[in-house]
Structure 1
């Protein structure tokens, strides 16, 4: 077990999960093997977002092999923001690292995040992601690997924009204010991290990049499809005008809608041309057209549903007798 250190150095790793026992075990083993974090890793918090608490046994089986306390919390209300808020309530660590349950961290992941935060003084530090998809996807494979991956600058340093919450390190006092910093209104569609980071930027917060903090993200077969990726791209496009609307900036909303219209037309025509000749690059242009379309049709209520109740319903169809 880690010995007590100055609380200013302590970090907790948070992993929300919903009915993915094998993926969760893989994610946890990757945290157990982290190097050069002795005395800094306080605990690992797993939040089980399945009403049936199906992750309980996985956590119990691995608890004795964890190098630090492995905390289990059950949050039966399905939703990505609600799960993350529940995890934060289970730890008082001043530094919070987020890892998704479909990710596995390289052994130097956490030390690289901590070093980048110390170097940059950023409120949130992000790291790169290598996307992994099932075999047999043909021409779609390179696009989907990029879609589920994440690249950034070659060197560690400050950056001028945020990425997603997965594979990140946050200074709790500045980046995660209050008992429930993630907006539960985004439970089903996602985008709660976009709102969080936009608010942080408005407060003068800073973002950093840890070039060596690699994780792998393993896309399950039901997500490693062009249809799913384009639906997500549409939702990503919705985020900028939705944030502008919440911030009561109608001119900014109009700006994003105009940008989206131009993107939809330009990339839509490019997609049509590439589709006619079966060029594999059409996946990239379709992605950009979908993001543009999302900026046009951004109104609340039109968001695709990827998390929470919809994901639970899908899992129930696959394994209705899971206990």
Structure 2
């Protein structure tokens, strides 16, 4: 078959992590991989030199795109403009594809006639506190069925393969209102599901997510858990499904009360599992407090401020 796949990597001031991600793609599905596109989300364009150096190592083009307005959806949209490939894979700049990753995605995608196929992710958090590390490595992981096949619910955009014409309609399919908070993939997949889209799971398509020190904390994980919890309620609100909003809010209230009480007991007892209980409580609160303006700011400008403060 012709080379028909582009892998897109949005990045923001992570040169070492970006280099690891790109190098993990070299040699993947050599008869199918057309190009690697890196969308640099730093206004200063700091990734250009790294991408140009990596391009000399790769057997396929490594294309640099500057997306100077910080935001995860903006970066994904900008990367799409740089390729005409009919199949689009996404790998985040903190992820590393295992050997055979792209081939496994393609095999499952084509075998089951999927519009989007998701791969497995194993989290790594070597800088986390010992008691917290098992929770965080599980938090940054993504697990699914043991066997490849169609699934009813989508996962996240990172470590995925999409049929562009169906799953990524128009020149800017990712909603830029989610630039700072994330969740742009939730809106994309909700729209695809409403159109009858087909999702698949490829357990053999493995990537590793490397959590840097500033993310290997309980506070960061709970912010992300709260944002994940907001997803179902916000999706219903976007569709004006107010009965669904009420349902998820009620579920969230029950979860928040039950898991907060358990977390308090576990915290007093200094049990490591208090992290898991707090995670469930945060997800419940997210379902309840889903309103616009309450989304945690985790990407784009927030990341720029963090890197500037640590410089």
TM-score in same-fold range (> 0.5): yes
Q: 1:202 aligns to what? A: 194
Where structure 2 has 5 or more consecutive residues not aligned to the other structure, the ranges are none
- Give 1:192 shift: 0.3
Which of residues 3, 11, 17 is equivalent to 1:17?
A: 11
Q: 1:31 aligns to what? A: 25
1:16-44, Cα deviation, whole Å (9 max, x unpaired): 1011110111011100132xx22211110
d(CA) in 2 for partners of 1:308 and 1:11? 27
Q: 1:215 aligns to what? A: 207
1:141-194, Cα deviation, whole Å (9 max, x unpaired): 100000111111111111111111110000101110010000000000000001
Alignment of structure 1 residues 115-264 onto 2, 5 Å: 115-135=107-127, 137-264=129-256
TM superposition outliers: structure 1 runs of 4+ over 2 Å: none
d(CA) in 1 for partners of 2:119 and 2:58? 24
On the 8 A contact 2:128/2:213 being kept in 1, the answer is no
1:264-298, Cα deviation, whole Å (9 max, x unpaired): 11111111121121111111111001000011111
- Give 1:317 shift: 1.4
Q: 2:46 aligns to what? A: 54
**Residues 136 and 170 of structure 1: is their aligned pair in 2 closer, same or farther, counting only changes over 3 Å?**
closer
Residues 1:85 and 2:77 aligned together: yes
d(CA) in 1 for partners of 2:30 and 2:178? 36
Q: 2:296 aligns to what? A: 304
Q: 2:56 aligns to what? A: 64
On the 8 A contact 2:233/2:248 being kept in 1, the answer is yes
TM-score by length of 2: 0.98
Residues 1:315 and 2:289 aligned together: no
1:244-267, Cα deviation, whole Å (9 max, x unpaired): 111011111111100000101111
Partner SS for 1:66: coil
Q: CA RMSD in A?
A: 1.0
Where structure 1 has 5 or more consecutive residues not aligned to the other structure, the ranges are none
Q: 1:287 aligns to what? A: 279
- Give 1:135 shift: 3.8
TM-score by length of 1: 0.95
d(CA) in 2 for partners of 1:212 and 1:234? 29
On the 8 A contact 2:127/2:216 being kept in 1, the answer is no
Partner SS for 1:47: strand
Partner SS for 1:155: coil
Q: 2:33 aligns to what? A: 41
- Give 1:136 shift: 5.3
